[in-house]
Structure 1
Amino acid sequence: MQRKPAHVATIRKDDFYVPTLQVLRDLGGSASIEEIEEKLIDRFGFTQADLDATYPTSGDNIITDKMSWARSYLKFPGFVANDSRGVWVLTEAGRLAVDQPLETLRQRIRSAKAARRAEQLKAKASSLVLDPAEEEADEAVAGWSDLLLAKLQSIEPAAFERLCQRLLREHGFTRVEVTGKSGDGGIDGQGVLRVNLVSFHVLFQCKRYKGSVGASTIRDFRGAMQGRADKGLVITTGTFTPDARREATRDGAPAIDLIDGEALCDLLREVGLGVVVRPVTTYEISVDQAFFDEV
């Protein structure tokens, strides 16, 4: 029996705390976002109608958005980490927390979040001013990629399209054009990628999302590019639902490559677009006790 959209709206990020830790444990201690979300969807029994439910104002997907918030909050007390590209890891603290009551996890997350906020205010670590209208955006910032995504999500859609255009050029594309035509099946631009002696005509779509891109978007995009290009590419600041990833690689249909928010941050970092990487030198200093014994 299908649940009403109102039921989906009552789901909280807290509801995903323990299940996310359990899924990571069951998957051997590490997993991609796609794997985590797919297992959570199965565990909660969400229907396609549930997954398609969006916030009235932003249009973001409710379920995957709250899954994302849960992962971010679990980072505060060090239950999970995502230092590697696209991979989330269950830490030793997370393994110990799996069997704890939800209220205990909530308290530990609140305490860790408050401690982090105090450190940030004291050190004035961040120079990025986030939109105060975003209720929780400032609270869940846990690293440079989170700050970068917050900034990307605040710029105008046309500016994001131009940034994607430049990013593709920096990564070897030529003749990159932003079309931005309305009613063109979501196609935002095109370019040519040369690999050794072979060139591919690529159509791309840019989605400045905070939630997840669904399978219907991928289907519509494929339909629009049919017969017009060799490859398709969808770039988003958010994530892709498991159904969207399956649709992108569906047998018998032209494959579409997907770049989610985390991968986008890494691609920008690699070419230095909007990201400054400065090497840091550290020293380990100790006292030579033997020296003073001989003075």
Structure 2
Amino acid sequence: MKVGVLMIPGYQEFMYPLLKLLEDRNEHTLRDAYIQLADEFNLSEEQREKLLPSGKQKILHNRIGWARTYLKKAGLLKIVRRGVFVITEAGLDVLENPRVIAIDNAFLMQYEEFREFKNKEKIIAPPKVDPDDNSITPLEKIEQSYAVLKDEIKEELLEKVKSGTPLFFERIVVELLVAMGYGGSMKDAGQAIGRSGDEGIDGIIKEDILGLDMIYLQAKRWENTVTRPELQKFAGSLDGQRAKKGVFITTSNFSEGAKDYVNMIDKKIILIDGDALTDYMFAYNIGVSQEESFVIKKVDEDFFESE
């Protein structure tokens, strides 16, 4: 296929060709996809090298990357390790359907995982219409795109936290709590975490820099849902310490029974699941770094009215 000199296909146009590239069931990298899809679309050297307005990434790479992200959200491909992915059985089913000759966001909405992803995007970002709808303002598009980027980063953060060692998870908890204003210094917090030998308690940390009150911690790097019995055990451990405040952190999630239980008791136990953990990590810059910054400006009407 042939495109104009400056017309680079949109990310949705790359979806089907990208999935087709994975039809051999082998592992593929983004670097392979950049080259092979650029060849398939007969892109010129100028098109391959054209940069985003920020000047920090090629448009081609950005759009293929988003095509991969959306296919992954729909469960048509899966990431096996950073930058490497393979097709799934659901993806193969799509390619075997002779009626499917293109894939776009509307097509992906048939998959529950993708609908959940889009619904989450709607909760995070304001006024929701389709991001590709030209009726929304440029600012709304920026906000929606930011929500998608944040969700993608949080997902990758959680995967890295789960794949790390228990010691690494402990370090993340320490750095996060200190960044949030608890524990005093890193040295104080590091000494407090992991020192308790009491059953059901993984550590104790200062609530404030002076240590006027202490918070007891339980951290579970789990895949399974944390249920009510685990919270009851933790609450019992707090009783043994005559403590009234605790934080239970997990990489998974909490059952409704567990949430109901902590709302019933007189102790204050804060539940932080995998989604909340990565949300805090994102907000307090734990495990993430700034890649790009945009400042939105508007005309200062007061400045001109004073003339």
Higher strand proportion:
1
Answer 1 or 2: higher relative contact order, Cα 8 Å, separation at least 6: 1
The bucket for the TM-score relative to the shorter chain is 0.3 to 0.5
